[in-house]
Every structure is written in C-alpha cells, then in structure tokens.
Structure 1
Amino acid sequence: MSSSIRMGRVGGVPLRIHWTVPLLVVLFGYGLVDRTLPAMVPGRSATAYSVAGLVGALLLLLSLLAHESAHAITARRNGIPVHTVTLWALGGMTEMGKPPAPGAAFLVAVSGPLTSLAIGGAALGAGVGLDAGLGWEVPAAVLVWLGWANLLLGVFNLLPAAPLDGGRVVQAVMWWRTGDRERAERAAGRSGQLLGILLIVLGWIAFLGGAWGGLWLALIGLFIMIVANAERRQATLTTALGGLRAADAMSSPVETAPDWITVRQFIDGPAMTARHAALPLLDFEGHPSGLLDLPRLTKIPAAQRETLRLRDASTPLAQCTTCAPGDLLEDALKKLKPLTGVRILVIDGRRLTGIITARDIMRLTQRRQLRRKGPG
C-alpha cells in the first residue's frame, strides 16, 4: 500500500505503517476518553481517562498487528511467500502469494480471526479478574473494552465475503470441493460486493439517524466493495489468460524512439507520426533504456526542450515493468509498477521484442472468452 513507511519486521516479514494509523489511535482513544470509560467507571479524573484511553488504543493496534502476524506466520509455515504486513485506518493487510492448495488457504484464512478471538477472550478474562480480585476498575474497563473489540473483530472477519477472512474460508472450501480456484475466487468476490453494498446502506441509515459511527461503517463497506470487485476482476482475468505467455499478448514490431535526441528534436520529428501515447526508448546500441510518456512532454517548459534529452524526460528502464517472451502473462501482470501503468516491455536478453498494453490484454481476454463460450 502506498503512503506507508517501513517500521521494522514482524515474524521475518517487513512491517509497514500507513499514515492513517495515528488517526486510528486518535479516534479510538478519543472514543474511550469521551464516552466509553466515563460510562463504565464514572467519577475518575480527566488524566486517568486520557492515559487509559491512549493505552487502550495502542493495545488495540497491537492486537490488529497480532491478527495480521498470524496470517503471515501461518502463510510462511505453509510455503507461501509473504511480502509485507501493513497496518492502516481500517485494520491491516497482509500481502502474500497465492496458496498452493485449499488446505493451506483455509489455515491462513482462519488464523487471523482465531487470534483475535483468543485475544478477546484473554482480555475479557483478565479484565474481570482485575476488577474482582484487585479492584483496579480503570485498567479492568480498558481490558474489557479491548476484549469485546477483538471478539467483534474476529466475528466480523468471519463473515463469508471477500476480502474478509470468512470469504477466504468459503473460497478455500469451495476450491476444495470443486477443484476450481478461479471459480471460488469469483464467488467470494461477488459475496464481498454484496456485503459492501449492505454495509454502505446500513451505515448511511445509521448516520441519517444521528449515529456518526454510521460513516465509519459505510467507509468499511466501500472498501470491501472496491477490493472485492478488484479481486473478482483479477480472478476473471486469470481464468481468461491462464497458460498464456508474454509473447502471446505483446504487440510487435514496436514503435520506438532514440533516447539521445532532445525533446525539441522529437517533437518536431518522430512525435508527429507517433501512433501511441507511450514509446520505448533505445540507446546508441539499440538496447531498451526507458519508456517515454508523450503527454508528459507537454509539461516541460519550452526553454528546457532545446537541451533536455528524451532519456532524462522518460521513466528509466529500472522503473519499468519488464518480462521475457516466455514468461507467463499472469506473472508479468503481477509485476506491474505504478509509474508506467499497464505497459510491459518484453525483452529477450537485451533486445526489445515487444510491448504489452492494456489494449492488448483486453483484446486477448475477449478472444479467449469468445472461444470458451462458443456459438450461442
């Protein structure tokens, strides 16, 4: 996830913190200080409430980290590569590869909710024990709140809709029963879209009824709907492009431009006949050196165009998405980088052999779907 910074490692996996995490701490801390704690243990000082509220919010953040860490650790134990764990305002995300089998997918999915339920039960028990045994009412109230929050988190995540963990469980079971991973992914994506719409509607109804928390519920629903839709599209694309190589999708020959000419020379010459919005650049030896985005040239001041070389106005090759002609198309699409969008340079050794664009992918997907459906 963009706009996040790396903050060490957890279970051997890089941990990233999104800029919205402090917002999460403030919101939950404020809710504890302003409403929850005064209702549970009235008559305490503002300082006691403030300290307890901050501690409670931080403990909740740690429990979210434990939830995601359980996913990461279970995935690595089952041979699934885990790239990052990211905490943000709506919880956490664990970026990992695809499970090799339904059993591994099931174990990874249930590990997070089970961890939250375990933390919830332990926190509730500790809170009740502190209150009954030692009379520490404020710490006990924080632990009881933390316990209920984790129980709610665990139960909510078990709802049978992607991208929630319950959707992953349903997906794993369906994959095991049908043997069709993509079909299971599409089904989980559809259920996620429906759940997202339902949460948005309920959130707005609650907000219009005077409950500000309805906005938070609607935001969660919107996130679920967007991610579920993206996952459903990805599953459809994987089905359509399964088994294809980069060479099957690339456009060739490729329209290119020399990287050593100036922006002015390019605008006065090759730009007038260019048929595409992005052109691969070649160096003196004919090797690819970058990708030129023509619309970006309009932002270069006229005075700089006389001396600025194309290679200095383009995206360097190291920041472009590249693959070999024999690479699986599905794997190449997973390596897409945000700077160049859906544009993949196909390179054989050091020679540019083709380029894959969004139009190429769309055309190939439509052809495969037509062949699969057949007449009628």
Structure 2
Amino acid sequence: MRTSGGIVLARVGGVPVVVRPSWLVVALVITWVFGPVLADAVPGLGGWAYAASAAFTVLLYASVLVHELGHVVVARAFGLPVHRVELSLLGGGSHLGASAPVPGREAAVAAAGPALSLLLGAVGLAVGQAAADGTLLRALLVQVAVANLLVGLVNLLPGLPLDGGRVLTAAVWKATGRRPTGARAGAWGGRAVAVLALVVPVALDVAADGVAEPLPVLLGLALALPLWLAASAALEAAQLSERVPRLSAGALVQPAVAVLGATPVSEAMRRAAEAGARALVVVAADGRPVAVADEQRLSAVPDARRPWTTAADASHRLAAGSAIRSDLTGEDLLSALHNAPAPEYLVLTPDGQVSGVLAARDVRRALGGPA
C-alpha cells in the first residue's frame, strides 16, 4: 500500500513500516560496494558475490528495522503513540506522536535502539566466528555483526539527531529541570559530531598517505552536511520551545477603539490617537464586533485616501474563531491561532469585554520568526 512519499512494507504491532524510494539508492550502493568484499572473503564465490551482497543489504536493513522497533516497543510501553517507522536514504527513523514527559523515559526510548544494535552485533559476531572459515555464512554474519556494532556505537554519539543526542538531551534536562536546555545541549552536540564526521575521514587519509585526497573530503562532507543541518534544525526548535511558554495574548494585544464601519479611517485614527490606542474594532449598529484592523493595516492606507476610506473597508472581517481570550498563553494560544488562521484577531477578556486586537505577525515576531 502506498502512503505519502513511500510504500507501507508491513505493519508491526499496528505500526506501519514505510519504505522511502531513497532507500533503493542506498541499497544499490551497498550491494555494489560489498560485492568485491564478499568475493575476497569467500573463495570461489565468483559471479554470485553481488547476489550475496544483496542478501547482506537485506540483512543490514532488517537489523536497522530491529533497531527502530526497539524505540517503538519502549515508547509504547510508556504509553507514547507511534505514527510510523521509516526506512530511507539515511537509514531508519521512528516517528512518535508525542515526546516523553520525563527525562528518564526520553533516555530509555532513545537508548533502546542502539542497545538492540549492539546486542545483535555481539550475538552475530559470536555466531559468525563459530561458523566455518571461508564460508558465505561466516562472511555474512560477521559483516552484518560489524555493521550493527558500528550502527550502535555511532548512534550513541552525543549529538542530535542521533540517539546519543537524545540521551544527552535527557541528561541535561534531568540536571537542569528544563527540557529546552537539554535540547540545546543535544543540538550543539550534534554540530560537534558533524564537525567530527567531516574531519575524521580526512585525518585518516592524511595519516595514511600524507595528503588529503578528494574522495575522503567528499565522504566527510556527505556525512557532515546532513548532520549539521539536522542539528541546526534541532537548535532552532529548542530556541522556539523556550519562547513558546512566554507567549501571552494579553501581552501582545494592541489597545483598540470601537468605531462604526462607516467612520472614515482618518477620523478613526484620530480617535485612536486620543485614546492611546493602536488598533480599531469595527462594530455594527448594535455594538457587535464585526471587523478589526491593527496598526500596520491602518498605516497602509495612504494619507490622501484616509478621509475617503471607511473603517470597514480598511479592516479584516472577523470569521469564526477569530475572537480569542486575553488570558491564553503558550501552547494554548498557538493552538487557538492554528485552529482559526487569520491576520488579526479580536481579543476578549475572560468576562467577554473587548481587550484589543492581536496581530499574527506580532506572534511570529515574538517567536523569533519573520514579521
């Protein structure tokens, strides 16, 4: 069955396993690279080397799936929803529907994947070493085991988006009592890991040959760039999450005066200036609010047109959900705005009185985004 951007390969415990088309690219590259490796390890394999390499690729991604299912099992044991597991260009990923509420659970969910990879690696290595030397079974088991050990160890590096970055996030969260601080630490750890990924291939090449060849440099860039971008995105998300709790409709509201729709903008702005207000609430004859205009919308009316433009024409008409309470803060405020997208909102006090006008651009500015 197809889903957005991928194919549902199977469902494990009700969780869809989605394979992205980009997975095929990596699978083909791995098959091509490991064909000669297996040909050298197994005498007489000949033309079957690439078929054996394809089997290695399947086993490797099966191991990646087991790694991701480790996250899934622990997350569901803690009651966290899991949307899907993906296999893609960068390996695998588990998409949870919610974050762990406490650092201990966050660390446990993150560590479960690498723990399973290391366990598979250790068991595979032991079984592979017991198999007859020079056989395809031994070569496959050892190669898959080594790959699992590398996956487990690399994922434990302390930087987002790796699992070790989530463990670091949980540790700093536990120490400071603040999740955003932990996320910032994990993101900076991710940037450090990205620099390491760039430097190590080049350093190994220089140590071996005394000069940096183009291929190790390109390999370092290919490893470092996605890690740096993901860590930077995590840092931006952490900074955003620090600002969200400080959001307040009451703090961002622009004081407003009420005017009838037929009032010229010039007269409406004069009344607003006298009242120390910055916005308008356009009301019907019965006093019911029908439209709003913030300071920027009013200023956009050219001076020469203000006496001839009515307040109703210069305002944004209120729609369902465009009235919000002045005591909304943080996630509750963002949820209210998300449920009824609009450029401006009417802000009411808890007892239903008009407090003023809230501009969506002011919320974006408070979150550090473009106005």
Between the two proteins, what is the percent identity of the paired residues?
31
* Inter-partner Cα distance in structure 2 for 1:323 and 1:24: 51
Task: Give the 3-state SS of the residue equivalent to 1:80 in structure 2.
Answer: coil
State which of 146, 170, 173 in structure 2 corresponds to 1:172: 170
* 1:259 paired residue number: none
* 1:28 paired residue number: 30
* Inter-partner Cα distance in structure 1 for 2:80 and 2:68: 15
* 1:86 paired residue number: 86
Q: What amino acid does structure 1 have at the position aligned with 2:189?
A: S
Task: Give the 3-state SS of the residue equivalent to 2:66 in structure 1.
Answer: helix
- 1:237-316 correspondence to structure 2 within 5 Å: 237-242=240-245, 244=247
Check the 8 A contact 1:162/1:191 in 2, yes or no. yes
* 2:72 paired residue number: 72
State which of 173, 176, 179 in structure 2 corresponds to 1:181: 179
TM-score (norm 1): 0.67
Task: Give the 3-state SS of the residue equivalent to 1:242 in structure 2.
Answer: helix
Pair 241,233 (structure 1): closer, same or farther in 2 beyond 3 Å: same
1:215-246 deviation digits (Å, cap 9, x = unpaired): 34422321111111111111111111116467
1:43-99 deviation digits (Å, cap 9, x = unpaired): 3221x2122101000110111111111111111111222222111111111122211
Cα deviation, residue 7, structure 1: 3.0
Task: Give the 3-state SS of the residue equivalent to 1:98 in structure 2.
Answer: coil
* 2:146 paired residue number: 148
Check the 8 A contact 2:160/2:189 in 1, yes or no. yes
Check the 8 A contact 2:158/2:164 in 1, yes or no. yes
* Inter-partner Cα distance in structure 1 for 2:11 and 2:359: 35
Check the 8 A contact 1:238/1:330 in 2, yes or no. no
* Inter-partner Cα distance in structure 2 for 1:228 and 1:323: 37
* Inter-partner Cα distance in structure 2 for 1:329 and 1:44: 63
Q: What amino acid does structure 2 have at the position aligned with 1:88?
A: S
**What RMSD over aligned residues (CA atoms) do the two structures have, in Å?**
3.8
Pair 179,211 (structure 1): closer, same or farther in 2 beyond 3 Å: same
Check the 8 A contact 1:204/1:218 in 2, yes or no. no
* Inter-partner Cα distance in structure 2 for 1:20 and 1:333: 34
TM-score (norm 2): 0.68
The reply to whether residue 364 of structure 1 matches residue 366 of structure 2 is yes
Q: What amino acid does structure 1 have at the position aligned with 2:233?
A: A
* 2:340 paired residue number: 346
* Inter-partner Cα distance in structure 1 for 2:73 and 2:250: 37
Check the 8 A contact 2:68/2:92 in 1, yes or no. yes
* 2:131 paired residue number: 130
1:100-131 deviation digits (Å, cap 9, x = unpaired): 11110111111010010011112212222222
* Inter-partner Cα distance in structure 1 for 2:34 and 2:108: 34
Task: Give the 3-state SS of the residue equivalent to 1:131 in structure 2.
Answer: coil
* Inter-partner Cα distance in structure 2 for 1:5 and 1:27: 20
Higher Cα Rg, which structure: 2
Q: What amino acid does structure 1 have at the position aligned with 2:235?
A: R
Q: What amino acid does structure 2 have at the position aligned with 1:125?
A: A
Check the 8 A contact 2:247/2:366 in 1, yes or no. no
Check the 8 A contact 2:249/2:358 in 1, yes or no. no
Pair 366,213 (structure 1): closer, same or farther in 2 beyond 3 Å: closer
The reply to whether residue 105 of structure 1 matches residue 99 of structure 2 is no
State which of 187, 190, 211 in structure 2 corresponds to 1:192: 190
Structure 2 residues not aligned, in runs of 5+: 255-278, 280-290, 294-308, 310-314, 347-356
* Inter-partner Cα distance in structure 1 for 2:250 and 2:7: 37
Cα deviation, residue 9, structure 1: 2.1
1:154-182 deviation digits (Å, cap 9, x = unpaired): 01111111111111112112211221111
Task: Give the 3-state SS of the residue equivalent to 2:233 in structure 1.
Answer: helix
Cα deviation, residue 328, structure 1: 6.3
* Inter-partner Cα distance in structure 2 for 1:247 and 1:2: 40
